[in-house]
Chains A and B, each alone.
Chain A
Amino acid sequence: MAVETSHDGPAATRGRSFEAEPVVIEARGVSKSFRLSVNKIGSLKEMITTFSQSDYKELRALQDVSFEVRRGEFFGIVGRNGSGKSTLLKVLASIYSADAGTVRMAGRLAPFIELGVGFNPELTARENVELNGVMMGLERREARGRLGAVLEFAELEEFVDMKLKNYSSGMLVRLAFSVMIQSDAELLLIDEVLAVGDAAFQQKCADVFHEMRDSERTVILVTHDMGAVEHYCHRAMLLHDGEVKAVGDPGEVARKYLRLNFESAPSTGGDSLGEVADIVVEDAWLEDASGARATNVEKGKDLRFCADLEAKRDVEGPTFGFSLANADGVEVTGFGVPVDELPERVSAGQRLQVRATVENRLAPGRYIVRCWIHRNRNLSDIVLYSPHVLDFVVFGGDEPGVAYFEHEVHMELTGGEK
C-alpha cells in the first residue's frame, strides 16, 4: 500500500501550520473486522435446530489504520461507500470497539454520526436539547444553559415547547445542526451533514464551518463531497478497502479519490486500483450561473455539468454520456454528446472538455451523476463506466417525487349560500 504523506508542501500554504500544535487525536494500527455469518443464527430455535457450526465470512473493514490530528485542524476523511470510513468514525466515537490498535484523544469528543440521532419525537425541543447535551457529556445544568443559543441559531425560539413530532423536516434538521455546532466539545466528529436545509441556512452552515476551520476546535469530517473537503479541510485522508491510501493536502486527496472512482470501470477488468482506463475523467464538477463551482443547486435553476476527460491511449470514435440518478438509485434522466460533436478519434494525451447545460426539473433531494465513455461509437463497447462521478443536492422546498414542474393551482368555492 502506498501511503503518501505530505505534511508540509501545499498543506502549509493553506494559511496555518499545525506542526507546533499538540496531537489531540491519534489512531495507531486500528483494525476492525466483522464476521458475517453465511447462515446467521438469529434465534435460540435456530441454534438448536442448526447442528453444524455456522460458517463465517470475515469482512475486514479497517486494516492497520494510523493517523493523527493536531489541535485546531479541520481533518477530512474521504473514501467510497464501503471503504471503511464510517466504521472508522464509529470506532473513534466509541460505538464500535477496535479489534486491534489504540485510539487516544485529548479532550471531550462530540460525535455526530447522523443529524438528530437520539431525538425523541414525543418530547419538546427544550427537553430534547437537554437530553442531547447530557448524551454529549454535559451536566444537566450546562445542557439547559445552552438552550438559548441552540434555538437562536436554529431560528426556532417560538417552537421551544412544541413536540418534535410536530416539527417539519426542515425544522428538525435545523435543530439538529444547531445542537451539533453549539456543543462546546473540543473535538468534533461529523459525518456527511453538510447538505441540509434551505439556501439561507446552508449559507449559515458554511459560515460556521469556516469559523470552525479557523478556530481552536479540532474537527474530523467524513464526506463524499470533494468540494467540502477542498473548501474546509486543512488536511485529508483517503481510505480505500479499509486501508489508508493517502494523507495530506486536501486538493491532492480529492483528486486521488476521484481517480479511484473513475478507474473502477468494468472495462479495465477486475481490480479497481492500479489499472487505468483508456480515457479517464480528470475532473468533473457543477457550475452555478456565475461560472463558479457549486455543490448544490437551487430548485429550478439550470444545471451546468462539466467534465474534463483525458485519453491515456488512442481511442477510435469515443462517446460520452451521463445520467442523473436520485438517492434511491433511480435514473431520472440522461444525455449524450450529440453525434456531430464527437471527434473521429482521440489520441493519447489529448483532452476532451464536456460542458452541458440541463434544464433543472429535479425535485429537491440528493442526486448522483453517472457517466459512460464508449469507443467505436458502439454503446456496448464500454471504455469507462463510473457510477458516481459526483453528487449534488437540489435544495429549496420539499416537494415529493422525482421531478418538479412549474405550476399554477387554483381552488374556488361555488354553490351554497353560506
Chain B
Amino acid sequence: MSAETQTPAALELREVRGPSATGGGGRRFFDLLWLISATEFKKSFHGTAFGYLWSLIRPLMLFGVLLVVFTRIFKFNVPNYPVLLLFNLVVFGLFQEGTGAAVSSVLAQEGIVRKTQFPRLVIPLSSVMVALFTMALNLIAVFAFILIYGVDPKWTWLLLPVILLLVFVLSCAVSLLLSALNVRFRDIAVIWVVIAQVLFYATPIIYPFEFIDPSFLRDVLIANPLTLIFEQARHWIIDPAAPTALEIAGSWAAMLPAIAIYVVTCILGVWVFNREAPKIAERL
C-alpha cells in the first residue's frame, strides 16, 4: 500500500511470529523468570518466619528416619554417614522437587498460557528456580551441620557450584521435557512420581556406591549421570578418601554412557519444549 513508502523508520512493520518458548526478548524473559520464581518461593513460606522451618521439616524427617534405619538397623559403617546422607538428600531435593513441580506447571498455569503473550519457558523453569532457592537455604543448614559434626573445611568445597550447576541443568532439561509432554499426555505427571522414586534408589543417596558389588547392577548405576555427580560431590565435600567419579567408573570410556545420557536429555528437553511451545495454548 502507498502508506508504506512514507512509514518512518520507527514504525517499521515487523512480523509477529506467534508464541514461542522464549518470545518477547531476553530481558523480559529474565525479569519474568525472576519475579515469578521469587513470588512462588515467597508463597511457599506462607508469609511467616515459621515457613522456613516448614520447608526444612520434610528433608529433616526423611533424614531422621533413614539415619535410624541405616545406622541402627543395618549398621552401616561409612565415614561421616549422617552428613553424607543429609547433604545428598538436600541436593537430590533440587532434582526431585524441581521436576516434580515442573511436570504439571504448564497445566497449572493454564490461565496465563491461554490468555497472555507469555514466554512459555518461564513456567517450568520457575518451578526449578523455586526448588533451587529452597535447596540454597537448606544447604546453609547442612553446612552448619557438617562443621558441627567435625568435618574440616577444605578447598574442594569451592567446587560445590559445579555440582549444583550439573544437577540444576539436568533438572531444567528434565522439567522442560516433562512439562511439554504432560500437556499432551496427562498421565506423565503420575508416571513421573514413580520414575523419580526409582531414580532416588538408583542413585547413591542413602547408600555409598562401594556397597554395590561389581555386577550388571553396578554398570547400570554408572550409566546414571546422577550417580557420578553425587559420588564426585561426596569426594569433594564430605570425604576426600572416597573415590571420585572417574575412579568409580574405572575409565573415561566407562563414563561415556552417563555423559551421553546427560547431554541427550538436555538436548531432547530443549528440542521438545521448543517444538511444543507454539501449540501449548491450543492443547490445554
Contact = CB atoms under 8 A, between A and B. Distances in A.
Contact of B281 (A43, A96, A106, A137): A96
Contacts of A45: 187
B79 interface: no
B142 interface: no
A162 interface: no
Contacts of A98: 18
A77 B156 CA distance: 64
Nearest to B34: A140
A243 interface: no
A105 B13 contact: yes
Contact of B11 (A93, A107, A122): A107
Contact of B15 (A20, A102, A123, A127): A102
A68 to B, nearest CB: 7
Contact of B115 (A19, A71, A113): A113
B282 A103 contact: no
A104 B185 CA distance: 34
A131 interface: yes
B37 to A, nearest CB: 12
B27 A47 contact: no
Chain B contact residues: helix, strand, loop or mixed: helix
Interface in B26-49: 27-28, 31-32, 35-36, 39, 43
Interface residues of B, number: 44
A22 interface: yes
B116 A135 contact: yes
A23 B1 contact: yes
Contacts of B31: 134, 139-140
27 contacts: A21-B3, A22-B4, A22-B6, A23-B4, A42-B184, A43-B186, A44-B188, A47-B185, A93-B117, A95-B116, A97-B279, A98-B18, A102-B16, A104-B15, A105-B14, A106-B7, A106-B13, A113-B115, A117-B115, A118-B111, A120-B39, A122-B43, A127-B39, A131-B35, A135-B32, A135-B116, A137-B24
Given A94-B23, A104-B15, 19 more contacts: A21-B3, A45-B187, A90-B281, A92-B16, A94-B117, A95-B114, A95-B116, A95-B117, A97-B279, A102-B15, A103-B16, A104-B14, A105-B16, A117-B116, A120-B39, A131-B36, A134-B32, A135-B116, A140-B31
Interface of B: 1, 3-4, 6-8, 10-19, 23-25, 27-28, 31-32, 35-36, 39, 43, 111-112, 114-118, 184-188, 191, 278-279, 281-282
